[in-house]
């Protein structure tokens, strides 16, 4: 028999779409948070205290103005200061959830490597979001005979604001994941939201509910506040990219799928007796 008559062996095609659903997103996030629980708690405490200290300083010196007359420029400045001190913490969380390891050295590495792009995306995204909120308030309070048109315009701005917020939440994870040129960060974040509209809307609803719950129980901000929101977006980005067979640092697809399969198989026994999973 000629060797040409033998059937060719082809590598099995890995179906990745099934790993990018919302239930898989929650499962992966939960187990990674749980596996590094102590590290996450310590990082969150450091992140929260840093932002709290910056906010307290700004309010103490009266840079935000008074309650009856808030200085919008001061609010924007506070937002940029919070972003500046959050870059290192965010990168540390990204490393922990994507590589399973991280140290305080990564805080300074993140600041050194991504500072200008991170601040640029935060500044532009915050400005557009603030402008959208201002216009939304303007149309809602506008007294005109064409009230229906005003509400229609307000609704249009509201949906644009939702879209922009969903894209903005992905921008720092995209920066840490691929470090693309500045303009490509916006391009890719918008494309991912368009391609995962329902999941992006579900994440926004989940974040809104958690934000309200954390404010009703403020002690939660000390334990899981900033880390919860950012780590969830890091895992969400991994799932979004996995749909297009893109992995972090070109990790072999089979290796990532194997990790996700193990996460799927974990259950209450791993939660109650985590040492057996090590």
Q: Domain ranges in the chain?
A: 20-268
Mean local confidence (pLDDT), 76-86? 94
Give the other-Cβ count within 10 Å of 223's Cβ.
15
User: What's the whole-number average pLDDT of the chain?
Assistant: 87
Among 7-11, 60-64, 145-149, the minimum mean pLDDT is found in 7-11
Among 59-68, 88-97, 145-154, 223-232, the minimum mean pLDDT is found in 59-68
Q: In this predicted structure, what is the pLDDT of residue 3?
A: 42
Task: Pull the structure tokens for residue 147.
Answer: 């009230």
What is d(CA 266, CA 5) in angstroms, rounded to the nearest whole number?
Answer: 44
Per-residue pLDDT at 52 exceeds 80: yes
Per-residue pLDDT at 274 exceeds 50: yes
Question: Residues with Cβ < 8 Å from 172, sequence gap 6 or more?
Answer: 87, 90, 94, 118, 121, 122, 230, 233
Q: In this predicted structure, what is the pLDDT of residue 2?
A: 46
Angle, vertex CA 242, rays to CA 236 and CA 248, nearest 5: 85
What is d(CA 169, CA 128) in angstroms, rounded to the nearest whole number?
Answer: 13
Residue 152 near residue 146, CB atoms below 8 Å:
no
Q: In this predicted structure, what is the pLDDT of residue 6?
A: 40
Per-residue confidence band for 10, with pLDDT thresholds at 50, 70 and 90: very low
Between residues 144 and 28, which one has the greater pLDDT? 28
């Amino acid at each position: 028999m000629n060797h040409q008559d033998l059937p060719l062996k082809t590598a099995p095609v890995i179906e990745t779409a099934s790993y990018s659903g919302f239930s898989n997103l929650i499962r992966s996030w939960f187990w990674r948070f749980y596996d590094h629980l102590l590290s996450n708690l310590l990082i969150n405490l450091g992140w929260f205290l840093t932002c709290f200290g910056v906010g307290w300083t700004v309010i103490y010196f009266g840079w935000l103005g008074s309650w009856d007359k808030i200085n919008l420029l001061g609010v924007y400045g506070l937002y940029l200061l919070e972003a500046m001190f959050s870059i290192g913490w965010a990168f540390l969380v990204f490393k922990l959830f994507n590589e399973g390891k991280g140290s305080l050295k990564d805080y300074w590495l993140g600041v050194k490597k991504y500072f200008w792009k991170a601040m640029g995306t935060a500044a532009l995204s915050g400005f557009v979001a603030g402008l959208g909120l201002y216009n939304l308030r303007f149309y809602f309070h506008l007294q005109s005979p064409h009230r229906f048109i005003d509400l229609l315009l307000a609704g249009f701005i509201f949906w644009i604001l939702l879209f922009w917020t969903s894209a903005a939440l992905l921008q720092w994870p995209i920066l840490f994941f691929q470090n693309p040129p500045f303009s490509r960060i916006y391009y890719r974040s918008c494309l991912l939201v368009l391609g995962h509209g329902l999941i992006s809307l579900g994440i926004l609803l989940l974040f809104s509910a958690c934000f309200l719950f954390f404010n009703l129980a403020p002690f939660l901000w000390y334990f899981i506040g900033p880390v919860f929101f950012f780590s969830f977006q890091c895992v969400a980005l991994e799932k979004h990219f996995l749909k297009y067979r893109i992995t972090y640092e070109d990790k072999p697809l089979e290796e990532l799928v194997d990790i996700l399969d193990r996460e799927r198989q974990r259950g209450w026994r791993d939660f109650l007796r985590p040492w057996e999973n090590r």
